[in-house]
Structure 1
């Protein structure tokens, strides 16, 4: 009930459409209740014998019946279409809302989540709200009104026979309760299995190059078969319960008809019931038992909708860890100074990643982070953009604690170039312009020239309109990284973060990227992570990290003359290069 109440609040936006649909449903139900009464009246007229007056009455009733059936078309259309319109609009709203909420989560949330599972929640699970609002609720309303209306009419015809027809109802309701307790867990399992199948498919399509390169097609096909089989098994188990239940409900429903025919026939012979009344009873019984026998299908749909709605609500109820604090200020006129004040950070409890990080970077300076893999260099840069919050300490930009400023204004002043460059499946111009949607083509070209990628782009068949493919797979690693640098330049942010900007590129491409970085030096504050120490020799300050701590700090010349980790790393790289 709590979930239904919450869902009701979500749907209140479309109350007008629902109201018209509900009124149409009530009118439709009244028409359905009136039709058998008219047919039984016609039967009674015929039973009395032919006459001129009887012919007029039958003609009038026929016209009324035709009018009711025409009205039934109109109100069925209004009931069905408006309910579906409201429901699908609600699904659209929820899909956007769930996506928006997921988009606000910190990076911690995504560490143990599969993309396919999240996609399933946004697309498949939200679709069950349409099932609830366009099918289940309207049918339940119709069924309740129909059962009550038919019961009242049957009682007015013959109380004894009407009560006898109710004998199967407790048995039907009890079997429905038993069925509901067994079907709900199975639908939840099938929903989860479908999400896992989607997640596995998404992973495989993203990693198709690796699958083929390592010859793992047969293994991955086996994995997909396993996931698909798990979903099929869960769904078939639920359907098996349905297959057992439906015939039982139909038998119990048929028992009511047998009672009417048998006992009604006896009453007719005794003169206690007319043929017209028996006809009316039989016509109304189809209306009476249809919603009750349809209870099983409705219960299936309710459980399916509940399972999907529950998975959606889990996402919406998950709190956003990184969010604007109350009374957060806009970060304006940023010069670019960065200060870490006794910062500690860990992804998991009791597993420190960064310990007591302290440094100050002046506006326009280039600060470099070096050290072995896994010492927290990338984590440190992500703390600047508040993708995570430190466990202890403060991070300040221009002397302002970044927790006290809005996320939007903070991130608008930072332009990242990540090691794993991500390009969207669009044109080169689209990808460069992504950082600044209002930028014109001249600005995009200027940014590309500054990133030393313009000449490469002009050599391509469609130049700036060249499609890059999914994740930029049509471009080389060096081209992708320089496009990412151009995107960062176009952002015109006072702070640029370079996470391994020259990783996995050839020497010539490295020189081009390095020239682009040198052109930015002095005009922006640059925080650069580099394994190749040759790329950060001109940095104003180099921080050497080991086991999550800053163990050395200084310029290249200062550190190379110290007996420490930086000197050892430099000697090792020189030896490897020779």
Structure 2
């Protein structure tokens, strides 16, 4: 019930439509109750026509009232159906936006063990079930309750004895409904989870279709997807099997009540204790009386399916982000670019520190490079500077202001970052370059592309800057994608620029051009570089060497090379492996 209450609260902007829909339901219910009563009256007139001298006129009036009730019912059914769906689908849209917005606010740690397809399933599939809940299940529950109460009242007015007899199956129906509800929810919950797993694998496989074909894994992946498809179907069929048992049970119990009333009512009519028109009216109303109870099984099924989805949706909405702004967080303005790490320790998993007591300072406009073997925490330092994660201990400051004291928006506004794993959107070249700057002009886009040595290959594309690059930039080479990412970061023009292996996928000639462009930016902003190709860091003002999560060396290229420590070793290895000219003339 708590999830249902939360949903109804979130639907508050659409309550007016639901209220009109509810009023329409009341009108439909009243009109439905009117029909059998008129037929009962008609039966009384026909069976006792000698008592009604104006019987012809009465029959015509009854017919006109029936026609009016049917026309009115069409109008109210339209209002009920359209407005309930209007409110429901708007709620679905609102919930999808809420869940997506919440996902954007969650820290990187949340996504570490989540699959994209599973999260997509929560945003799209689980929220879609709310339409069934708001437009069908809840209105049906409301309508059926009204019909049940209305018919029960009329039945007792017509004949209290027969009405009491008709209630005999009700306790059994309620008991079976309760058992059904408890048994079916876990099955729908499992079906929703299985659907999310299927979506996750589909998303992975479609994204990795080239690798699947390259390694001839089509059959293996087909069997995996087939397994996930049938797991979802089996979970769904388990729930539907319970429904297939429950629905006939409800119908049988309803039929028992009808048999009781027909047999006893018929005997009472034969003995003259009950008028014929009352028996006719009673039987007509009795079919309406059991209809809501029979429909209850479908309502329960819809509610349980929707609530299974609601559990998964609210699990996301109620997740607390690890990264939280302070209530009095300040705007980071007029940034010069000074960066200070003071005794920073951090671990992704408790007890396994990735960074240990990191201490360094970067002056405004300096170019600082971070080098070291793979997995020593170089990229983690950049993530921490962006506050994608929070520290275990220590502090990080920009212009002597702790980044935990500033708003996340202002922090990210002042940092541009080119990651090793470049992500581009399915848009044009120009749109991707301009992503980091609102209302960027074409001249600014072209200038950024030239700085990133991307302009020449862009103008040779089929539509130049208006060329669509496909999902994740699939139509471009690795080097082209990285140059677009660099252009995007340059155009943002933030006072701090981070390049995480930004030249790892380009050829040596292009790397040299990009390095010249970076050198031209030197002094205009603070530049942090992570590089395995040590030729790209020779001109850095400071080189920080890491090993096992700790800083082991710090200095200029010349100073570190002269020490003949880890940096010297890394340079020597590259000289041998890559025939690098890094140490030429040293």
TM superposition score category, shorter chain reference: over 0.9
- Equivalent residues in 2 for 1:504-515, closer than 5 Å: 504-515=505-516
Tell me what 1:36 maps to. Answer: 36
Instruction: State whether residues 331 and 410 of structure 1, in contact with CA within 8 Å, keep that contact through their aligned partners in structure 2.
Output: yes
CA–CA distance in structure 1, aligned partners of residues 352 and 561 of structure 2: 31
CA–CA distance in structure 2, aligned partners of residues 470 and 181 of structure 1: 44
Q: CA deviation at 1:505?
A: 2.2
Tell me what 1:520 maps to. Answer: 521
Tell me what 1:74 maps to. Answer: 75
- Secondary structure of 1:335 counterpart: coil
Instruction: State whether residues 141 and 296 of structure 2, in contact with CA within 8 Å, keep that contact through their aligned partners in structure 1.
Output: no
- Residue deviations 1:437-482, cap 9 Å, x none? 3111111111111111111111112000111111111111111111
- Equivalent residues in 2 for 1:443-454, closer than 5 Å: 443-454=444-455
Q: How many residues align?
A: 578
Question: After alignment, is 231-240 or 525-534 more displaced?
Answer: 231-240
- Equivalent residues in 2 for 1:401-550, closer than 5 Å: 401-550=402-551
Q: CA deviation at 1:577?
A: 1.8
The yes-or-no answer on 1:339 pairing with 2:340 is: yes
CA–CA distance in structure 2, aligned partners of residues 537 and 159 of structure 1: 99
Tell me what 1:557 maps to. Answer: 558
CA–CA distance in structure 2, aligned partners of residues 274 and 503 of structure 1: 94
Instruction: State whether residues 501 and 513 of structure 1, in contact with CA within 8 Å, keep that contact through their aligned partners in structure 2.
Output: no
CA–CA distance in structure 1, aligned partners of residues 459 and 443 of structure 2: 14
Q: CA deviation at 1:547?
A: 0.3
Instruction: State whether residues 545 and 567 of structure 2, in contact with CA within 8 Å, keep that contact through their aligned partners in structure 1.
Output: yes
- Secondary structure of 1:561 counterpart: helix
CA–CA distance in structure 2, aligned partners of residues 460 and 129 of structure 1: 46
Q: CA deviation at 1:52?
A: 5.7
CA–CA distance in structure 1, aligned partners of residues 283 and 79 of structure 2: 29
Instruction: State the superposition RMSD in angstroms.
Output: 1.0
Instruction: State whether residues 368 and 541 of structure 2, in contact with CA within 8 Å, keep that contact through their aligned partners in structure 1.
Output: yes
- Residue deviations 1:491-540, cap 9 Å, x none? 01010110001113221221222122112111111111000000010000
CA–CA distance in structure 1, aligned partners of residues 83 and 555 of structure 2: 69
Q: CA deviation at 1:258?
A: 1.2
- Which runs of 5 or more structure 2 residues have no equivalent in the other structure? 580-586
- Secondary structure of 1:347 counterpart: strand
TM-score scaled by structure 2?
0.97
- Secondary structure of 2:417 counterpart: strand
Tell me what 2:582 maps to. Answer: none
Tell me what 2:322 maps to. Answer: 321
Q: CA deviation at 1:571?
A: 0.3
Question: After alignment, is 478-487 or 51-60 more displaced?
Answer: 51-60
Structure 1 segments, 4+ long, off by >4 Å, are none
Q: CA deviation at 1:209?
A: 1.1
CA–CA distance in structure 2, aligned partners of residues 348 and 279 of structure 1: 74
CA–CA distance in structure 1, aligned partners of residues 13 and 505 of structure 2: 52
Question: After alignment, is 117-126 or 233-242 more displaced?
Answer: 233-242
CA–CA distance in structure 2, aligned partners of residues 247 and 94 of structure 1: 36
CA–CA distance in structure 2, aligned partners of residues 42 and 441 of structure 1: 80
Tell me what 1:238 maps to. Answer: 239
Tell me what 2:88 maps to. Answer: 87
Tell me what 1:362 maps to. Answer: 363
Instruction: State whether residues 451 and 514 of structure 2, in contact with CA within 8 Å, keep that contact through their aligned partners in structure 1.
Output: no
Instruction: State whether residues 40 and 281 of structure 2, in contact with CA within 8 Å, keep that contact through their aligned partners in structure 1.
Output: yes
CA–CA distance in structure 2, aligned partners of residues 239 and 450 of structure 1: 62
